[in-house]
Chains A and B, each alone.
Chain A
């Protein structure tokens, strides 16, 4: 019990909530880890097969950045690995710092600590596994290199299927991995940009009487999301299947008992649907009424524009006294 209390206090005193896109983090990690593994492989094989004198050449090729020749990446790769480590650290740090924070992922908020620890543990495990795999891969690559399998070959050195005069068709998978490797190599900032988090203050819920809930800081949240109060309100009412009103201090009075967590969940879906840009996941967007009574979201960071569904209340059953009155 004593251990519970401080956490509860912390929870109430928390100022802001982080909306981290878990998927994204994982994505970034995935790509990053893949790259790292390739990295080691290349490095080792390169070291074993090429003389050190070729290294400067590849570096210079790398420097101009436009050279698509298959001899390249060395220095950047090493840097990438560092980046990957940094990103991992960042993610871990973020997870540490924002324990109990709201993730954009639908993960339940309960048992936050335990989950986090598990996550960390899993991450470590994965890393360990990866390392092991790398070692294996290196070994197998070294073994298989002279045999020159069908779809093998070093992309950087331009051997095997990546040779210039190679006529054999390359299957989709290696091409895809090559694409991503090149993409990440040319744009080192892409992988790190995925871990950005979006913060809004947690909703403050008070109970008014027995049957009404006051959502106190809706104005602040709306301001942060750059959406009108009316839009958010109508979405809340549609999703919660209730009605309500705005009181004197611009607080929202919702009919029905709702907990903070429930409001939070609805806000989360709202943010996913009406705030974040689907293309670049940036929350820096604007909602505007376009032609034909359709609402459009325009992203301020990538410039994409998409239409969003209008808020529909849908069917709602009559509950309570009104129903009896209607029938009677």
Chain B
């Protein structure tokens, strides 16, 4: 007779797996807003997974939201990865775009954090 419970795999190995997973889910996409002069604002999107082509995303987004934008790469943003910067308050729209399965990236809503007022 053997104890079934103890036959499962090493708990430490499992912990490692877990931490890997949580690390993935911990990496949020941050959508922020910044005030410029007057009523003008900037929207920054930080942490879009690198499996996506940021340039293409920007191209589509610019057309869809009818706004200009730019990609700020590593050197300027100091370890923040590539940041997409859009003109105007595009927070809701970009969130919709990121989560939309048909016309967007189809990301999980839980990985997106919208900051700002």
Residues in chain A within 8 A of chain B (CB atoms): 238-242, 256-258, 261-263, 265-266, 314-317, 319-320
Contacts of A258 in B (CB 8 A): 117
Any A CB within 8 A of the CB of B11 = no
Contacts of B46 in A (CB 8 A): 314-315
Residue of B at shortest CB range from A318?
A: B76
**How distant is the Cα of A242 from the Cα of B115 in the complex, in angstroms?**
12
Any A CB within 8 A of the CB of B57 = no
Task: Identify 29 residue pairs between A and B in the complex whose beta-carbon atoms are under 8 Å apart, listed by A's number.
Answer: A238-B115, A239-B115, A240-B35, A240-B116, A240-B117, A241-B33, A241-B34, A241-B35, A258-B117, A262-B117, A263-B117, A266-B116, A266-B117, A314-B30, A314-B80, A315-B30, A315-B44, A315-B46, A315-B72, A315-B77, A315-B80, A315-B83, A316-B32, A316-B34, A316-B44, A317-B44, A317-B83, A319-B36, A319-B37
Instruction: Produce 1/0 per residue, B8-34, CB < 8 A to A.
Output: 000000000000000000000010111
Expressed in whole angstroms, the minimum distance between the Cβ of B26 and any Cβ of chain A is: 9
Any A CB within 8 A of the CB of B85 = yes
Instruction: Produce 1/0 per residue, B98-117, CB < 8 A to A.
Output: 00000000000000000111
Residue of A at shortest CB range from B83?
A: A315
Residue of B at shortest CB range from A313?
A: B32
Contacts of A263 in B (CB 8 A): 117
Any A CB within 8 A of the CB of B42 = yes
Expressed in whole angstroms, the minimum distance between the Cβ of A134 and any Cβ of chain B is: 37
Beyond the given A319-B34, A320-B37, could you list 20 further A-B residue pairs with CB under 8 A, ordered by the A residue number?
A239-B116, A240-B35, A240-B117, A241-B32, A241-B34, A241-B35, A241-B115, A242-B35, A256-B35, A257-B35, A258-B117, A265-B117, A266-B117, A314-B46, A315-B32, A315-B80, A317-B34, A317-B83, A317-B85, A319-B36
Contact B80 A241 (CB under 8 A): no
Interface size on B, residues (CB 8 A): 18
**How distant is the Cα of A183 from the Cα of B85 in the complex, in angstroms?**
51
**How distant is the Cα of A16 from the Cα of B43 in the complex, in angstroms?**
33
Expressed in whole angstroms, the minimum distance between the Cβ of A309 and any Cβ of chain B is: 9
**How distant is the Cα of A259 from the Cα of B115 in the complex, in angstroms?**
16
Residue of A at shortest CB range from B113?
A: A314
**How distant is the Cα of A316 from the Cα of B34 in the complex, in angstroms?**
8
Contact B42 A317 (CB under 8 A): yes
Instruction: Produce 1/0 per residue, B71-92, CB < 8 A to A.
Output: 0100001001001010000000
Residue of A at shortest CB range from B44?
A: A315
**How distant is the Cα of A319 from the Cα of B33 in the complex, in angstroms?**
12
Contacts of A266 in B (CB 8 A): 116-117
**How distant is the Cα of A242 from the Cα of B42 in the complex, in angstroms?**
12
**How distant is the Cα of A315 from the Cα of B32 in the complex, in angstroms?**
8
Contacts of B36 in A (CB 8 A): 319-320
Contacts of A241 in B (CB 8 A): 32-35, 115-116
**How distant is the Cα of A257 from the Cα of B40 in the complex, in angstroms?**
11
**How distant is the Cα of A262 from the Cα of B44 in the complex, in angstroms?**
18
Contacts of B115 in A (CB 8 A): 238-239, 241, 314
Contacts of A239 in B (CB 8 A): 115-117
Residue of B at shortest CB range from A236?
A: B117
* CB-contact partner of B42 in A238, A257, A262, A319, under 8 A: A319
Contacts of B83 in A (CB 8 A): 315, 317
Expressed in whole angstroms, the minimum distance between the Cβ of A206 and any Cβ of chain B is: 17
Contacts of B85 in A (CB 8 A): 317
Expressed in whole angstroms, the minimum distance between the Cβ of A272 and any Cβ of chain B is: 13
**How distant is the Cα of A238 from the Cα of B35 in the complex, in angstroms?**
13
**How distant is the Cα of A238 from the Cα of B30 in the complex, in angstroms?**
12
Contacts of B117 in A (CB 8 A): 239-240, 258, 261-263, 265-266
**How distant is the Cα of A111 from the Cα of B116 in the complex, in angstroms?**
23
**How distant is the Cα of A261 from the Cα of B116 in the complex, in angstroms?**
12
Contacts of B37 in A (CB 8 A): 319-320
- Determine which residue in A238, A263, A314, A319 has the highest number of CB atoms from chain B within 10 A of its CB, and name it: A314
**How distant is the Cα of A241 from the Cα of B42 in the complex, in angstroms?**
10
**How distant is the Cα of A242 from the Cα of B36 in the complex, in angstroms?**
10
Top 3 A-B pairs, shortest CB-CB distance: A262-B117, A241-B34, A256-B35
**How distant is the Cα of A241 from the Cα of B32 in the complex, in angstroms?**
8
